[in-house]
A and B are shown apart, each in its own frame.
Chain A
Amino acid sequence: MSPYLFAYLGAAILVLSGLALTRKNPVHAVLYMIVMFFHLAVMYLGLGAEFLAAVQIIVYAGAILVLFLFVIMVLNIKEEMEAERFSVGWPFGIAISSGLFLLVILVTGNVVPGKQGAYTPAAVAAQTNTKLVGTLLYTQYVFPFEVASLILLVAVVGAIVLAKKKLK
């Protein structure tokens, strides 16, 4: 990825996240988040992860944020807009997160780049990203994959139990 593109995407993601946090109107906040997700998708594209980019848009922008909007629209927007934007403990939260950020900056000086593995950009391009992700997911990483789907299944069952009016 060209450094200029990265600089633009990084800056835009930061600004958009800030805007999403500070908007009084929750619908506007969600909209800034959608635009932010699109920038993130372009970032994945630049790194050669095209499957991830598409999934980022389909799952996050296409499904999860529509559900967000759905819930927010049913809220009383006027009440929401008058409510205090941040809870009482916000300076505390900022202190913790800036501490973590400082830690990351301090550590970045000592990072040693790892050895190049089998999946170089050329090797990925030869097989296409999607095929490679699929193959690895169903061979080498099949156990973690199944565990993740089991966890999701538990969540689905939980949602059905909550939504069902009468349990026999």
Chain B
Amino acid sequence: MDLLYNVFFRPQIFSPLVQVLIILLKALIVVGVLMLHVTYATYFERKSIGHMQVRLGPMRVGPHGLLQPIADFIKLFFKEDIIPANADKPIFFIAPAISIFAGMTAISVIPFFNGFVVANINIGLLFILAMSSLNAYGVVLAGWASNSKYSFLGGLRSSAQVISYEIAMGLSLVGVMMMAGSLNLSKIVQAQQRFPGGFFWPQALGFFVFMVAAFAETNRTPFDLPEAESELVAGYFTEYSGMRFALFYVAEYIGMIVMSLVGITCFLGGWNGPFAIPYVPFAWLFIKLYLFIFLFYWIRATLPRYRYDQLMTLGWKLLIPLALLNIIGTGLVKMLLH
């Protein structure tokens, strides 16, 4: 038991080689848990949207369709991999990998409970912003390399959308940085212990801007224009099939989980809850995560898609000014209190 405690919470007492192994072990645990969540997030989405639309969703494979995601995965794995004739092959191959890599790397700085984080770095929040901006490349390059008009339009739409909303997202997190006085996500969570409900109430405006930007960054409804099926077939991954298609699909869910985790750590108190749950230090984090994921599905089932000019107007003329207002407000309050 002592050894296990030392491995996870005091790795600095071991030799450098063992420390590297410990980091790898932690990364392996996080990736395993993440992939399990991605698998069942697809099931959860189909079930919850099914029930919202007064149908049952998947019911055939296993009891209540519980084995459906595994069946889907096996199907995608054995499907023929089709590459368009004039596609730019190296970029076509590398695009889904970039998407999935960007999402998974961002997870490494998220603290799951007190002391458990793969990479405890001082610029954690900036690192997440950097990785989420990298995510755009996967989409843009996939759209361009497919040599298809639908994919290309999807890719162009996505790059413009992501650049616009990244600004709003970065600015909305500045308020959190100001209140916590740090970019280290563990320290941000610890700074929230003084406030009941975390930074949610003092940073309500920032949280609103962050959530809207998070929906746009992950290309979810009501901002799923890059993959608008009624106009663009499937947008940037129209030409992808089999495993590569699955990689994009997984990357989208990882993006959703990353954005939820960032929202939870920065605004909702991270792993802390109203009362401590014994023996399961990460329980609150996961409860909040499931609520967030459900919010994504709920909004998808409720709202129609935005028009492209409305999307741009919302991003530039509403969200960015609101985020700036939030920064000024937070600064003024901080100045008055000191």
Of A50, A55, A67, A74, which contacts B122 at CB under 8 A?
Answer: A50
Interface size class of chain A, counting residues whose CB lies under 8 Å from the partner chain: 20 to 34
By beta carbon, the residue of chain B nearest A125 is B122
Interface flag for A12 (CB, 8 Å): no
Q: Is A128 an interface residue (CB 8 A)?
A: yes
For residue B108, give the distance in angstroms from its CB to the closest CB of chain A: 14
Q: Is the CB of A63 within 8 A of B163?
A: yes
Chain A at the B interface: mostly helix, strand, loop or mixed?
helix
Q: Among the listed stretches B19-27, B124-132, B195-203, which one makes contact with chain A, having 4 or more residues with CB under 8 Å of it? A: B124-132
**Of the candidates B91, B123, B126, B156, which one forms a contact with A31 in the assembled complex, judged by CB atoms under 8 Å apart?**
B91
* Cβ–Cβ < 8 Å partners of A66 in chain B: 133, 136-137, 140, 159, 162-163
| A25-73, CB < 8 A from B | 25, 27-28, 31, 34, 50-51, 53-55, 57-58, 61-63, 66-67, 69-70, 73
* Cβ of B160 under 8 Å from chain A: yes
A130 near B: Cβ within 8 Å? yes
Task: Determine how close the nearest CB of chain B comes to the CB of A71; give it in whole angstroms.
Answer: 11
Which chain B residue has the least Cβ–Cβ distance from A28?
Answer: B91
With contacts A27-B91, A69-B159, A130-B183 taken as known, whether A57 is within 8 angstroms of B122 at the C-beta atoms is no
Select A61's contact among B126, B134, B159, beta carbons within 8 Å: B134
CA distance A125 to B259 in the complex (A): 29
With a cutoff of 8 Å between Cβ atoms, the chain A residues found around residue B123 in the complex are 50-51, 53-54, 129-130
Q: Which residues of B contact A (CB under 8 A)?
A: 88, 91, 121-123, 126-127, 129-130, 133-134, 136-137, 140-141, 144, 152, 155-156, 159-160, 162-163, 166, 170, 182-183
Binding site for B on A (CB under 8 A): 25, 27-28, 31, 34, 50-51, 53-55, 57-58, 61-63, 66-67, 69-70, 73-74, 128-130
Q: List 21 A-B contacts (CB under 8 A).
A: A27-B91, A31-B91, A50-B122, A50-B123, A51-B123, A54-B126, A54-B127, A54-B129, A54-B130, A55-B126, A57-B134, A61-B133, A62-B134, A62-B136, A63-B163, A70-B156, A73-B156, A74-B156, A128-B182, A129-B123, A130-B123
